Structure 1
Amino acid sequence: MRALRMLLVIAVVLGGLFVVADRVAVNMAESEAADRIKVQEGTADSTDVSIKGFPFLTQAMSKQFDEVEIKLTGIETRAAGRPVRIDEMTADLFDVRVGEGYANAEAARAEGTARITYEDLTRAADDGVTVAYGQNGKVKVTGSVTLPLFGKITRSVVSTVSIVDGDTIRVRADRVPGEGIPGLEGEIRKKTDFDRKLGGLPAGLTLQKVEATPDGVVITVTGKDVELAG
């Protein structure tokens, strides 16, 4: 009995040491992976990586991970010559395969969301244009134009935001009050209607849909064969 108890104690101790070693290894790998994840044509303020599954060491030996979560904040890129900032992007990556020395990595499938604040969407719009939440899943866009005889005219329009071609955010006014002023609608639309191609996400991710919320526009992203590093 005493020998059996000793064996059980040893097994528990060894099991505990294995768990500790496994968690230390996964923490080191997560830190290394966060340093290696790249964004296209831009930079990110911070990158966090969480590797799921246990034990980690067996996944590391096979260089294949069932699920990895990533979170990027403050992604800075440009579109149409203007700055575009993605406040936050989170994604679940599945069947992640890594190369020798973690020099490159690719996920077979990915899904997640990205959020752009209205302040950052305003920066991406034309000069003098502001974008805010417009209630009921719409955005409110305000812009001014100057017309002969009428001077400066400012209009706030309720606009629909959508995704075009899997990489572009489109903002279009539902209607523009013209009040019988010739050419007013067209001139206002030149300010308030705009497309912005959204770069800065890991290669392979595409934009699926967008929803206007009180905290910003939330974009659903998905992808196949998503390149994370290399």
Structure 2
Amino acid sequence: MRALRILLIIAIVLGGIFVAVDRIAVNIAESKAADKIQSSQRLSSSPDVDIKGFPFLTQVLAKELDEVDVSLSGVTATAGGHSVNVTEVTAELYAVRIDSSFSSVVAGRGEGAANISYADLSKAAPKGATVGYAGAERAAKGQVKVSGPLTDLLEGQGVALPSAVKALLQGRTVSAYSTVALNGSGAVQLRAEALPKLPVPGFDQRLRKAVDYDLKIEGMPSSIKLDKVTASETGLRFSGKGTDVRLAG
């Protein structure tokens, strides 16, 4: 009985040592993976990497991790020819293939999400247009508010306004609620449900061109295809899925 008790104590001690060694190893691996991802993706700051699953060491021996969660910051993308900040970039990666030095990190499949603020979306909007929050009810329908001075919107579309017409329209602001969607190529489409009738005939179509536009966002991981966009109080949130998502190597 005493021998059994001693064996049990030894097993508990060894088990505790194994758990401690396993956790130390995973912390080192997370730091190393973060450095590789930062270098590979050319990020301005180190990402947060969380390697899931236990034990970690057996996953390393198999050279495949069950799940790795990554949070990125310092990400920029190009939208409408303008550099925009991408915030709250997260990725959940599964069946992650690695090598011993973490110089190669490739996930069999992954899910990602990111936010772009209304301020950055406005930078990429047509001249004179500002994109903003449309309120909780309309945001739930995937709508945003697009507004701007009427003269700026028209002149942004190359419309030469005679002095008399410009004086008539001066000070008038146009606001429209636009539905946001993704097309097949991953570009963001903004389409206004209705526009106010202009007091000057012939400019309605030009105004719609200033309000309805497509926004191609480039610089995101190419292996994750964006398939959903939702409107929130702070901006648009994009999400998507992909296979063979390469973060390093």
Q: Is the pair's TM-score, using the shorter chain for normalization, greater than 0.5?
A: yes
Conservation of the 8 A alpha-carbon contact between 2:147 and 2:173: yes
Conservation of the 8 A alpha-carbon contact between 1:143 and 1:192: no
Flag the 1:155–1:40 CA change in 2: closer, same or farther, 3 A.
Answer: farther
Flag the 1:150–1:44 CA change in 2: closer, same or farther, 3 A.
Answer: farther
* Aligned equivalents of 1:104, 1:45: Cα separation in 2: 19
**Aligned-residue CA RMSD (Å):** 2.3
Q: Which runs of 5+ in 2 are unaligned?
A: 152-160
Flag the 1:48–1:41 CA change in 2: closer, same or farther, 3 A.
Answer: closer
Match of 2:124 in 1: 124
* Aligned equivalents of 2:204, 2:43: Cα separation in 1: 38
Conservation of the 8 A alpha-carbon contact between 2:41 and 2:247: no
Residue 64 (structure 2) pairs with residue 99 (structure 1): no
Question: What SS is found at the alignment partner of 1:102?
Answer: coil
Amino acid at match of 1:69: D
Deviation at 1:13, TM superposition (A): 1.1
Deviation at 1:212, TM superposition (A): 1.1
Moved more, 10-19 or 138-147: 138-147
Residue 184 (structure 2) pairs with residue 165 (structure 1): yes
Deviation at 1:193, TM superposition (A): 2.6
Give the aligned length.
Answer: 230
- Alignment equivalent of 2:148, drawn from 126, 143, 149: 143
Flag the 1:221–1:29 CA change in 2: closer, same or farther, 3 A.
Answer: same
Question: What SS is found at the alignment partner of 2:148?
Answer: strand
Match of 2:214 in 1: 195
Deviation at 1:170, TM superposition (A): 1.8
Which structure has the larger Rg over C-alpha atoms?
Answer: 2
Conservation of the 8 A alpha-carbon contact between 1:206 and 1:222: yes
* Aligned equivalents of 1:45, 1:182: Cα separation in 2: 53
Amino acid at match of 1:63: K
Amino acid at match of 1:142: S
Deviation at 1:39, TM superposition (A): 9.3
Q: Deviations over 1:71-102 (max 9, x none)?
A: 11341122332112211121211111113421
TM-score (norm 1): 0.89
Moved more, 36-45 or 217-226: 36-45
Conservation of the 8 A alpha-carbon contact between 1:161 and 1:170: yes
- Alignment equivalent of 1:213, drawn from 222, 232, 241: 232
- Alignment equivalent of 1:222, drawn from 236, 241, 244: 241
Q: Deviations over 1:158-211 (max 9, x none)?
A: 111111234322222222212342233333334333322222322300110111
Flag the 1:41–1:110 CA change in 2: closer, same or farther, 3 A.
Answer: closer
Moved more, 202-211 or 52-61: 202-211
Indicate the structure with greater helix content. 2
Match of 2:24 in 1: 24
Question: What SS is found at the alignment partner of 1:125?
Answer: coil
* Aligned equivalents of 2:15, 2:33: Cα separation in 1: 26
Conservation of the 8 A alpha-carbon contact between 1:114 and 1:221: no
Indicate the structure with greater strand content. 1
Deviation at 1:226, TM superposition (A): 0.9
Flag the 1:165–1:205 CA change in 2: closer, same or farther, 3 A.
Answer: same
Match of 2:5 in 1: 5
* Aligned equivalents of 1:44, 1:209: Cα separation in 2: 27
Moved more, 131-140 or 76-85: 76-85
Deviation at 1:50, TM superposition (A): 0.9
Deviation at 1:54, TM superposition (A): 0.3
Question: What SS is found at the alignment partner of 2:242?
Answer: strand
